[in-house]
């Protein structure tokens, strides 16, 4: 009995991995001081790199985003160290930069509902199987 309990304990502990993966941009520790000296888009690209996204309407804003994903075994995935850099650009000049961290970002809750797709055809597994009969050409036919 003790061997089985020890085996279960070892397997449970083995499932408790502690891992952090960084996603997006890795910002330097002295980001605020670096952004104070940036005046052109070329300097911004040298310091941080190309933006993740650019806005379409109004003044052009370059958006940089980075965060950490923390895996803690069976516990839910946790995101922290979120940082957003917004750089307002006009031509080749950086007009304004704004740095937002975890506590300054709005909490957004995702809705659990699904958006219905108009005119979508939903088939079960058997219907999908029979629906695909004759759609594929035999191997070697060149089609």
pLDDT tier, 61 (very low <50, low <70, confident <90, very high otherwise): very high
Read off the DSSP letter of residue 103: G
Could you read off the pLDDT of 90-121 as tens digits, one per residue?
A: 888 998 888 888 877 777 777 778 777 787 77
Q: Give strand ranges (E) for 42-107.
A: 53-54, 60-72, 78-90, 93-101
Q: Are 60 and 87 in contact (CB under 8 A)?
A: no
């Amino acid at each position: 009995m003790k061997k089985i309990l020890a085996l279960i304990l070892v397997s449970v502990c083995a499932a408790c991995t502690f891992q952090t993966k960084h996603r997006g941009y890795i910002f330097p520790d002295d980001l605020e001081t670096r952004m104070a000296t940036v005046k052109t888009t070329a300097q911004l690209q040298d310091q941080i790199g190309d933006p993740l996204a650019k806005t379409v309407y109004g003044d052009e804003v370059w958006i940089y985003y980075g965060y950490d994903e923390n895996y803690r075994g069976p516990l839910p995935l946790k995101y922290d160290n979120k940082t957003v850099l917004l750089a307002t650009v006009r031509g080749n000049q950086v007009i304004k930069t704004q740095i937002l961290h975890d506590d300054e970002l709005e909490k957004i809750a995702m809705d659990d509902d699904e958006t219905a797709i108009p005119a979508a055809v939903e088939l079960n597994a058997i219907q999908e199987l029979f629906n695909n009969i004759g759609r594929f050409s035999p191997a070697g036919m060149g089609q």
